[in-house]
């Protein structure tokens, strides 16, 4: 009997059932990610639709600029929680251990980021995906997550531009994960690396307008 791509899982009824579970995991995580913290907070705070003001993003940065630091921090925390919740639920729901859980959590992490960026009920207009990816990454590979956070904070401190920090965090996540896996600090999981690369690509893609403004020298700073 042929094997499922994950070692030890046969491509039989159990393997097909596992594929369906992965699909349901992605859908569930997508729905979690689609809960737009920025939209909800904007409506509650000031009856503002963040899609119609500022950059049009429903993420924490546009919330911060539009409604102040309190609302911005709240949205950031809620967006991080979405990514974390999707990953933790995927880990609990899987009947297998080991690599299967790693794949399920990576699938859930990508689903949450996709849902945040392209939410089901807001005309597909969401945020940039950074905070939700941070929340997922925090529980998938904690030591490497610290590298992403350090890269974000360092770039933000040097430039005072959030988008630069966000883009730097992608590089920090990739470099940190590969370095820590190579040195044996954490066990290398192909699924985890796939999540980092897919989420990183999504984040860079969503930052296209920011990158264009950076090239023109017109990207606003978080502090003047």
Q: Which two tokens stand for residue 96?
A: 């297998």
Q: What is the pLDDT of residue 5?
A: 55
Average pLDDT over residues 178-190: 94
Please write the tens of the pLDDT for every residue from 123-150: 888 999 999 999 999 999 889 999 999 9
What is the residue-wise DSSP string for 108-134?
HHHHHHHHHHS-TTTTT----SHHHHH
The answer to whether 51 touches 109, Cβ cutoff 8 Å, is no
Strand partners, 3: 10
Q: In the prediction, which pLDDT does 46 show?
A: 87
The encoded tokens of residue 224 equal: 């003047």
What does the pLDDT read at residue 136? 96
Closest CA to 113 of 138, 95, 135: 135
Q: Between 18 and 2, where is the model more confident?
A: 18
What is the rounded CA–CA span in Å between residue 151 and residue 164? 10
- Give 49 or 95, the one with higher predicted confidence: 49
1 has a pLDDT exceeding 50? no
Average pLDDT over residues 83-87: 97
Least-confidence region, from 27-31, 62-66, 115-119: 62-66
For the chain, percent of residues with pLDDT exceeding 90? 71
Position 140 scores a pLDDT of 92
Q: Which residue has the higher pLDDT, 72 or 5?
A: 72
Element counts in the chain: helices (H) and strands (E):
10, 0
Q: How far apart are CA 143 and CA 157, in angstroms?
A: 21
* Structure-token pair, residue 128: 């940039």
- Distance between CA atoms of residues 197 and 136, nearest Å: 13
Q: By mean pLDDT, which of 44-53, 72-81, 199-208 is the weakest? A: 44-53
CB neighbours of residue 107 within 10 Å: 25
Please count the residues of the chain: 224
């Amino acid at each position: 009997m042929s094997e499922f791509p994950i070692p030890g899982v046969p491509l039989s009824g159990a393997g097909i059932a596992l594929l369906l579970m992965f699909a349901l995991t992605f859908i569930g995580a997508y729905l979690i990610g689609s809960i737009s913290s920025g939209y909800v907070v904007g409506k509650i705070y000031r009856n503002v639709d963040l899609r119609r003001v500022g950059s049009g993003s429903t993420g924490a940065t546009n919330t911060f600029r539009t409604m102040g630091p309190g609302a911005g921090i709240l949205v950031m925390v809620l967006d991080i929680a979405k990514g974390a919740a999707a990953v933790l639920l995927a880990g609990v729901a899987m009947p297998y251990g080991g690599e299967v859980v790693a794949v399920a959590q990576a699938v859930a992490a990508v689903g949450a980021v996709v849902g945040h960026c392209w939410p089901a009920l807001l005309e597909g207009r969401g945020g940039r995906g950074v905070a939700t990816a941070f929340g997922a990454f925090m529980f998938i590979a904690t030591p490497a997550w610290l590298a992403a956070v350090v890269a974000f904070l360092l770039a933000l401190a040097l430039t005072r531009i959030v988008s630069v920090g966000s883009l730097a965090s992608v590089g920090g996540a990739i470099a940190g994960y590969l370095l820590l896996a190579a040195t044996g600090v954490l066990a290398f999981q192909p699924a985890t690396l796939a999540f980092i690369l897919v989420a990183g690509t999504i984040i860079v893609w969503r930052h296209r307008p920011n990158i264009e403004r950076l090239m023109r020298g017109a990207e606003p700073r978080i502090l003047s």
